[in-house]
Homo-oligomer: A and B are copies of this chain.
Amino acid sequence: MNIEIIAFDADDTLWDNEPLFQSIEKELCTMLTEYGDMEHISSTLFDIEMNNLELYGYGAKAFTLSMIETALRVSGNKISADKIALIIEKGKYLLNMPIQLLHGVEEALSSFSKKYKLVVATKGDLLDQERKLVRSGLAKYFDHVEIMPDKTEKEYRKLVSALNTQPENILMVGNSLKSDIYPPLSIGMYAAYVPYHTMWKHEVADENIVNDKFYKVESLSSLSSLIIR
């Protein structure tokens, strides 16, 4: 193993994220209950999000706009302005949400940072992700932050080149097989999968990997015990 750089996904790898989006989604469903049950509202929101993905990308602003569109659609454009105002407020709450680090993350990063160069490689909204990193208190551990519009092989190739290194010198760590594991392995990077208890439907993927550059661990602490010798 000649790993020199460890790249970390952020949301649901370093800190909680998806549960906050899901709790806002639940609030939206409750607010719109006169227009349909939770399942109907949720699946409309998901369809609209997928439909807007190419145009809006990921993140809380995109999510807010898709929530507004959902309210308009399920109500047949009958939704009140008061409720639209509430959705805007919910979106702002998401952008300011408290950052709750996952257990053991800071200790693990501190230990990794003694041996490796650490970077953040996350998709989502540029400003929002940078603000979250600052609020997390973890910024000091990272030499480089790469906010990616998406996480396909193309963006990982760009990351490798931005870091002036080779794929086999980077280990990518994250909770999404689809975004953090498959594309890095495909281009020859190492990848460590750290499952998180909740997964956005869009990120769900099959887990069936045979690759000697693949690790599956329970937490960043376990990864740290595994690769720091």
Contact = CB atoms under 8 A, between A and B. Distances in A.
A61 B72 contact: no
Interface string A68-81: 11011001011111
Interface residues of A, number: 34
Nearest to A58: B127
Contact of A88 (B57, B69, B80, B164): B69
Interface majority SS (helix, strand, loop, mixed), chain A: helix
A165 to B, nearest CB: 13
Interface in A157-209: 162, 164
A79 B84 CA distance: 10
Interface in A76-123: 77-82, 84-85, 88, 91-92, 95-96
A92 to B, nearest CB: 6
